[in-house]
Chain A
Amino acid sequence: MLGLSKKDASLLITVAVLVALAPIFLNPFPENSALSQFNAGYPDLMQRFVIFGIFAIGFNILFGLTGYLSFGHAAFLGAGSYAGVWMLKLLTINVIPAILISTVVAGLFAILIGYISLRRSGIYFSILTLAFAQMSFALAASVLTPITGGETGLQTALNDPRILDGANEGGNIPAPNFFGLEMGDSLQVSFAGWLWTFNAGYYVSGIIMLISFYVAIRIFRSPFGIMLRAIKSNQQRLNYTGLNTRPYMLACFVISGMYAGLAGGLMVAMDPLAGAERMQWTASGEVVLMTILGGVGTLIGPVLGAGLIKYFENIFSKINSNLLHKWFSFLPDGLEDFVVTIIYPFIGKGWHLTLGLMFMGVIIFLPGGLVELGQRISRSLSKNKNDAAEHKPAE
């Protein structure tokens, strides 16, 4: 199917089904139950799942295949976002041109940064990319204010030209749309206490994520993909085998940057606001964490990692001390306070502490990330099954 092997095709189909049904199964708890705060099936969060999924898929094409660890990928996310908002302001509030331009602009930016950074490898490459991204961040927040909106950020306004859209009749800033379908539009279905929200923006992002995922599979299986893996394995050997690794690396870096730009474009398509903090090193670090948590070099890992981090960020940062006290109210007073004091640093703004612990746990016990966890579970399950089958005749 679509030029994919059976295994890859079934992976793609599985992901497609999950994306399509996410609004349902990410809301496993009825609307009014005590556990409903653990639901993840609302538009804003689901959009983040798939958009950061795209960002991580692209990052993994670089890091997973070639082993070159970029610490500056947020620069492309940010560049894509700014370009996207400008399209929404100048050309049309339709999201498609914005998303396309974001990808192209990030690609051009990646040619420049990649051309210079790829003169070095290993830690020096990482530091060069980090330096570029921090420079971009500093520029966006200060001197480039006319283009980026500085510290307040760049957003759409009522008097934007939007030359393709004609005169603006209503008194409101138009909302980004896909040929009339507004990204904020949702269809809500409630069913026996459950509430499901099918959001237009989520599905637009989801479909683009599936396309990105499909392209990534094709890249992984292509001659280009093999060469990239060979670069990771033994770059010198590849040179002595007659291959010029420079253009391979640059092409890979640019493709990866375009994925980041696409993600940035989708962010502003969902919420037309771009700020400089999107380029900050913490954002670059986050995509590294996502990829490693999910499983470096695997197809599905980065998407899982992005989902996991965005989910926990959302859940943990929402928990506050009142909620903790409510949960532990069954304990005797002194003990309750004690338990809450212990847990408190890990929630709310302190959720990064939890993330750090999670990350350490994965690195130490599961270097292959969530994908390795899945493989281990399925292996031990199938082993149990075999054992059971072997034991049966004896009974």
Chain B
Amino acid sequence: MGILDIKDVGKRFGGLQALSDVNLNVEENTCHAIIGPNGAGKSTLLNCLIGKLIPDSGSVMFDGQSVLGRTPYEINQLGISRVFQTPEIFGDLTVFENMMIPIFAKRDGAFALDAISDFMSHKDVVEQAENELEEMNMADKRHMHAASLSRGDKRRLEIGMCLSQQPRLLLLDEPTAGMARADTNNTIDLLKEIKEERDITIAIIEHDMHVVFSLADRITVLAQGTPLVEDVPEKIKGHPKVKEAYLGESA
């Protein structure tokens, strides 16, 4: 059994069945891509994994523990970090402060009342934040307000923030959307490197097939809230059902 086990998950918004009978199993230390047309329910599925939404039915297990009923911070402390479809960072804070927060969260847990020490005096955190920014090629932007970054840089910062927590499961929701081609390639290289060097499982939603085929070990195609096919990338490429899902019923 994989590290992430999604069973019979369903989610309804009013009259819209956004997810139904979703079964998905992600093996430890692999990269699993979820693709599908707009509105297929991909982001909704990730929302059910991090406590943002609670599915109407089914179960979600991470490393043998149920995720459902846990709060978002508890789920993160289990080892799940997520990059959102629209960058979610701390816009009023500097890039460097943004980078320190997840590291503090990882080191000190969900709550630590340290109101007296200077945050820059935590050398281990500072050093790790510096390394992480270096790795993301953002060291020169450390004093900038995060809100003033370009969209691509916001993305990279968010990815860096998630990676800095050394999560066991990294959820990426269209991480390269809005990035220039060069940045996209850098991001792919970085993720590949991380995958080889660390024990990390990645679930990625992506429209860019170049990204998907360079990273994924397995691919699930989601359409109208249900998985259509799941297979290795080579098999997915020419799959008739995939073409159908992307091009519409008539094709």
Distance in angstroms from B19 CB to nearest chain A CB is 20
* B116, A234: Cβ atoms closer than 8 Å: no
Tell me whether A244 and B110 are in contact in the complex, defined as CB-CB below 8 angstroms, given that A229-B93, A233-B90, A234-B88 are known contacts.
yes
Number of residues from B at the complex interface, CB < 8 A:
38
In the assembled complex, B92 has its CB within 8 A of some CB on chain A: yes
Chain B residues numbered 104-139 whose CB sits less than 8 Å from any CB in chain A: 104-106, 108-120, 122
Contact among A225, A233, A237 for B115, CB-based, below 8 A: A225
- When C-beta atoms are compared, the residue in chain B nearest to A8 turns out to be B118
Q: Name A's interface SS.
A: helix
* A239, B92: Cβ atoms closer than 8 Å: no
Tell me whether A240 and B82 are in contact in the complex, defined as CB-CB below 8 angstroms, given that A223-B104, A233-B93 are known contacts.
yes
In the assembled complex, A45 has its CB within 8 A of some CB on chain B: no
Across the A-B interface, give the 6 residue pairs with the lowest CB-CB distance, nearest first.
A242-B76, A242-B105, A224-B115, A244-B110, A233-B90, A233-B92
* B101, A241: Cβ atoms closer than 8 Å: yes
* B88, A230: Cβ atoms closer than 8 Å: no
What residues of chain B have their CB less than 8 Å away from a CB belonging to chain A? 50, 52, 71-73, 76-77, 81-82, 88-93, 97, 100-102, 104-106, 108-120, 122, 161, 165
In the assembled complex, A162 has its CB within 8 A of some CB on chain B: no
Of the stretches A25-33, A139-147, A247-255, the one at the interface is: A247-255
Q: How long is the Cα–Cα vector from A241 to B75 in the complex, in angstroms? A: 9
Q: How long is the Cα–Cα vector from A218 to B115 in the complex, in angstroms? A: 7
* B114, A241: Cβ atoms closer than 8 Å: no
Which of A3, A218, A238, A251 gathers the greatest number of chain B CB atoms within 10 Å? A238
**Neighbouring A residues of B110 by C-beta, 8 Å:** 242-244
- When C-beta atoms are compared, the residue in chain B nearest to A67 turns out to be B92
**Neighbouring B residues of A229 by C-beta, 8 Å:** 90, 92-93, 97
Distance in angstroms from A379 CB to nearest chain B CB is 18
* B115, A238: Cβ atoms closer than 8 Å: no
Contact among A219, A226, A242 for B165, CB-based, below 8 A: A242
**Neighbouring A residues of B104 by C-beta, 8 Å:** 223, 226-227
**Neighbouring B residues of A218 by C-beta, 8 Å:** 115-116, 118
* A224, B90: Cβ atoms closer than 8 Å: no
Could you list 14 examples of A-B contacts with CB < 8 Å? Answer: A5-B118, A219-B115, A219-B116, A221-B118, A223-B114, A229-B90, A230-B93, A239-B72, A240-B52, A240-B81, A240-B88, A241-B165, A242-B110, A247-B111
Q: How long is the Cα–Cα vector from A230 to B119 in the complex, in angstroms? A: 14
* B115, A242: Cβ atoms closer than 8 Å: no
Distance in angstroms from B2 CB to nearest chain A CB is 22
* B73, A222: Cβ atoms closer than 8 Å: no
* B115, A255: Cβ atoms closer than 8 Å: yes
- When C-beta atoms are compared, the residue in chain A nearest to B121 turns out to be A3
- When C-beta atoms are compared, the residue in chain A nearest to B79 turns out to be A242
Q: How long is the Cα–Cα vector from A123 to B114 in the complex, in angstroms? A: 29
- When C-beta atoms are compared, the residue in chain B nearest to A231 turns out to be B90
- When C-beta atoms are compared, the residue in chain B nearest to A245 turns out to be B73
**Neighbouring A residues of B93 by C-beta, 8 Å:** 226, 229-230, 233
Q: How long is the Cα–Cα vector from A238 to B50 in the complex, in angstroms? A: 13
**Neighbouring B residues of A244 by C-beta, 8 Å:** 71, 73, 110-111
In the assembled complex, A329 has its CB within 8 A of some CB on chain B: no
* A243, B111: Cβ atoms closer than 8 Å: yes
Contact among B50, B91, B120 for A240, CB-based, below 8 A: B50
